[in-house]
Structure 1
Amino acid sequence: MSPSKPTLVIVHGGWHVPESYEKLIVALEAAGYEVHCPRLPSMNQSRPPNADLYTDSDLIRAYVSSLVRAGRTVIALMHSYGGQVGSNSLVGLVIESCAALGLAGGVSHLIYMAAFAMPEGVGMMDKVKEFGHMDLVSIAVNFDEDNTCLSNDPKT
C-alpha cells in the first residue's frame, strides 16, 4: 500500500455485511488502497435487536479513532444507513481538529454513496415524516413487534 494514499473505511448500509462490498474492496485494494469495512453490531440478525445506531456509531468512532491515532488519513465511504452512522461517529475527527490535538491523522473526506446525510439531531424517519410519506414506509419495510426492521423485498 502506498503511504501517500488515504486509508478507506467503508461504513456499510443496513441489511448488509462487509462481504456485500467484497468486489469494491478487492478493486480498491488492487488500486493500492488500504481498505477497512468493520461489521456493524446491529447487523447481527439478533431478535429482538441488541444493537442500534448508537452501538454502530460507537464502533465506527473507536475504529476510525484508532486509525487516526496511528497517523492515517481516512476517507469514509458511507452507504445507505452507513451515512447516519458515519455522520454520528466521525464528528471531531477531521484532520484540522486532530492536528490541533497533535495527531498526524484524521478524516479528510466523507463520501455518501446513496446514503443518509442528516442534520444533527434528525433521523431518516424524521425526514420521511416531514415530507408526509409515513404511509409509504410499510411498502418498503416491516417493523416487527420486537422492533426488528426488515426489508419487505430485499432482492430489489
Structure 2
Amino acid sequence: METTIKPTLLFVHGAWHVPDSYGKLTSALRTAGFEVHLPRLLSMNESRPPNADLADDSDLIRSYATSLIEAGRDVIVLMHSYGGQVGTNSLYGLSKKARSAKGLSGGITHLIYMAGSASADGKSMTYLVEVFGHMDKMPIAFGFDENQSCVPNYPKEGLVGEPYADQLDPEEFKAYIATFVRSNGKCMYLPLQNTPAWRDDVKLLYIHTLGDLTLPIDYQRNMVQYMEKEGKTVQTVELESGHCPNLTATKAVVDAVVNFTSE
C-alpha cells in the first residue's frame, strides 16, 4: 500500500501565545491534511525576569526546521505576529532550491506571514512604529513590568479585536485569553541579526488582517511593499479580522494556506 506523505507545516507562534493558544487552527490544519509542528518559543517560558530573547527563539526555530529538513521534509512555515520576526531572523539559507543545488533533499518551500512581522534587513518590530509616529501608543497598548516582561493591556479590544471577539462564544474567547503568558517585551525592540528569510528562493504569502490594531494594516502593507521593492513576488490575502485570525477567521486562514501551498 502506498503511503501518502502529509505536507509538513512548521508554525512559529506570536508573543503572549503558547501552542495551546492555536488549538483551533492547528486542529483545522491537520484536518486539511497538514502535519503541524508548533514548538513553544523560549521567550514565552514565563521566567521573571525574562531569560530568553529573539536570538534564543531564532536558534530554536532554526534547529527545529533543520531537523525536519534533514529528514528529507519539504517544509511550509506559517508565522504569526512576533513569530514572523523569529522566522525571518532564523530561516535564511534553508530553502529547498538552495539545498537542491547542493545535492541535498528537503528544504523550505513556502513562507506564510499571518499578520506577521516581515521586517527589513537589520530592523526591529518597533521600526515601523517609529516610521508611522506611533511610539507614544506603545505603553498604552502593552503593559511592561519593571523586569521588561510584557502583556497586552487590552487583549479583547486591541489584540483579538472587539467586534470579532463578540462574534465568538464567550467561553471560547475566555479559554483563548486564559492561554496567554507574559512575554519578553525587549524582543519587540531587537533588530534582525541575519539575512531575512524572505530573501530566499521560496514562495511568499502575506495574510493581511484588515481590522488589526496590534499590527495595523498600514504596517502590513508597508512590509509587503518593501519585499516587492526588493524584487520578491508576494501573494496576499485579505481577511476581515483583528490580530488573531487563528481564532476569529480560522477557516479563511486554512483556505488561504491550502490554496497557496497547492498551487
TM-score range, shorter chain: over 0.9
Distance in 1 (CA, whole Å) between partners of 2:100 and 2:136 is: 47
Report the equivalent of 2:91: 90
Report the equivalent of 2:232: none
Give the superposition deviation at 1:79: 0.5
Q: Contact 1:2/1:32 (CA < 8 Å) preserved in 2?
A: no
Distance in 1 (CA, whole Å) between partners of 2:103 and 2:64 is: 19
Report the equivalent of 1:104: 105
Report the equivalent of 2:44: 43
Report the equivalent of 2:81: 80
TM-score (norm 1): 0.93
More helix by share: 2
Report the equivalent of 1:115: 116
Distance in 1 (CA, whole Å) between partners of 2:89 and 2:114 is: 16
Distance in 2 (CA, whole Å) between partners of 1:29 and 1:58 is: 26
Does 2:4 align with 1:2? Answer: yes
Q: Partner letter of residue 44 of structure 1?
A: N
Q: CA RMSD in A?
A: 1.3
Distance in 2 (CA, whole Å) between partners of 1:6 and 1:40 is: 22
Residues 29-85 of structure 1 show CA distances to partners (whole Å, capped at 9, x for unaligned) of: 122211100000111111100111111111000000000000101010100110001
Q: Contact 1:2/1:33 (CA < 8 Å) preserved in 2?
A: no
Q: Contact 1:68/1:103 (CA < 8 Å) preserved in 2?
A: no
Q: Contact 2:79/2:114 (CA < 8 Å) preserved in 1?
A: yes
- Once the two structures are overlaid, the 10-residue window that deviates more, 123-132 or 78-87, is 123-132
Q: How does 1:54-69 map to 2 (within 5 A)?
A: 54-69=55-70
Aligned residue-pair number: 155
Report the equivalent of 1:30: 31
Q: Partner letter of residue 2 of structure 1?
A: T
Q: Partner letter of residue 27 of structure 1?
A: A
TM-score (norm 2): 0.57
Q: Contact 1:11/1:78 (CA < 8 Å) preserved in 2?
A: yes
Distance in 2 (CA, whole Å) between partners of 1:2 and 1:78 is: 26
Q: Secondary structure at the match of 1:46?
A: coil
Whichever of the two has the greater Rg, that structure is: 2
Distance in 2 (CA, whole Å) between partners of 1:40 and 1:109 is: 21
Give the superposition deviation at 1:154: 2.4
- Once the two structures are overlaid, the 10-residue window that deviates more, 34-43 or 136-145, is 136-145
Distance in 2 (CA, whole Å) between partners of 1:6 and 1:103 is: 18
Q: Partner letter of residue 39 of structure 1?
A: R
- Once the two structures are overlaid, the 10-residue window that deviates more, 111-120 or 146-155, is 146-155
Distance in 1 (CA, whole Å) between partners of 2:125 and 2:27 is: 30
